[in-house]
Amino acid sequence: MSDSQKRISGALLLGAAFIAGALLIRSYKNPTPTTTNVAIVTQAPERTSIKTLDENNDGIPDWQEALLVTEALQITSTTSEYMEPETLTEQFALDFFQDMVRAENYGAFGDSPEQLVFDATDALAKEVVDELLTVDDIILSNDDSLEAQILYGELIATIIATYSQDDADNEAKILERALRIQDESELQQLDAIAEIYLHYLEDTKKVPVPPSLQKEHLNLLNSYQALAIDIQAMRNAFIDPMLTLLRMKRYQDDASGLYVSIVNIYNKIFDNGGSWDKNSIVFTLIDIDHEDH
């Protein structure tokens, strides 16, 4: 049994123990009513003696001899050691069991099943709220000239071009294929894609940002961060399926957010009067008709 299976088994066993305890307490609180119909025995049943066997005639009945041992009793345990939950899936299972048992013990004063599901859903939603990067995480330049903005746009495009892999499969397709054929090894391809987004993030944080592009720059960084986390969650789909599902629910929004962030950066520079040579790396990144600006 793998460590992950042991942890899940531990969580389920602990939950089962809680439920068993709750049912036991409930049985004491609500004893089973006894019937008023009493059967009256008018005559004791005939008793017959059970013959005591002593095959070796040593004065010790055979049944008693069977209980006598000359070797130390060896006890082997097959139960796995309980391990603290490490994944969101395991922790959710444990927490939900505990909440169910508490509600059961409180009886009419406990939460309804509907309320338990609502609370659990609300708690899960908080698990996919990322800590956003702020102005403290970037290098804010003192130069807000048009030249500085044009240089900034070139640097952003260069970073993307440096790490992009045109022949790489889409991360969502990789996940879909791995789940369809139930092959965890397929997800190894996601390691390289997640690494690309982390490179985007770290290199872009080092780019001096013209003050007028501060908002657009932070949106870009937070899109990179969100997608890196999404892909890392996809990578662990067989280990922590609940987290993968939650991140996939926001993945499309994160991908769309990245596209919008990039377009907004270059639109703003164009609107401010910036332009690049038509052979610039910028135009290999984004499809904007520069002659209209």
> Is the model's pLDDT at 270 over the cut of 80?
yes
Structural contact between residues 266 and 280, judged by C-beta atoms closer than 8 angstroms: no
In a domain, 118, yes or no: yes
Q: Are residues 157 and 283 in the same domain?
A: yes
Residue 116 predicted with pLDDT over 90: no
Residue 61 lies in a domain: no
Q: What is the pTM of this model?
A: 0.65
Shared domain check, 110 and 143: no
Amino acid at 260: V
| Token pair in block for residue 113 | 């099943």
Cβ contact 272:212 at 8 Å:
yes
Q: Give me the number of domains the chain comprises.
A: 2
**Res 284: pLDDT:** 82
- Both 10 and 149 in one domain: the answer is no
The residues near 187 (Cβ < 8 Å, ≥ 6 apart) are: 174, 175, 178, 234, 235, 236, 237, 238
- Do the beta carbons of residue 21 and residue 101 sit within 8 Å? yes
Query: Domain check: are 161 and 16 in the same one?
Result: no
Chain segment 37-83, per-residue pLDDT in tens: 443 434 434 444 445 667 777 777 665 555 554 555 455 556 656 67
- Which position has the higher pLDDT, 25 or 105? 105
Q: Does 209 share its domain with 144?
A: yes
Identify whether 74 is part of a domain. Answer: no
pLDDT digits (tens, 9 = 90+) for 135-183: 999 999 999 999 999 999 999 999 999 998 777 788 999 999 999 999 9
Three-state DSSP class for 209? strand
pLDDT confidence of residue 245: 87
Residue-wise DSSP of 96-124: HHHHHHHHHHTGGGSPPHHHHHHHHHHHH
Q: Name the token pair of 189.
A: 């391809």
Same domain, 87 and 195: no
pLDDT digits (tens, 9 = 90+) for 180-201: 999 999 999 999 999 999 999 9
Query: Higher confidence at residue 66 or residue 212?
Result: 212
Cα-based distances in Å from 283 to 156, 176, 263, 291: 12, 32, 12, 12
Mean of pLDDT values over 2-31: 42
Domain that holds residue 150: 135-292
Question: Do 233 and 101 reside in the same domain of the chain?
Answer: no
The pLDDT of residue 287 is 66
- Identify the CA nearest to 86 among candidates 1, 4, 184: 4
Residue with tokens 């505990």: 98
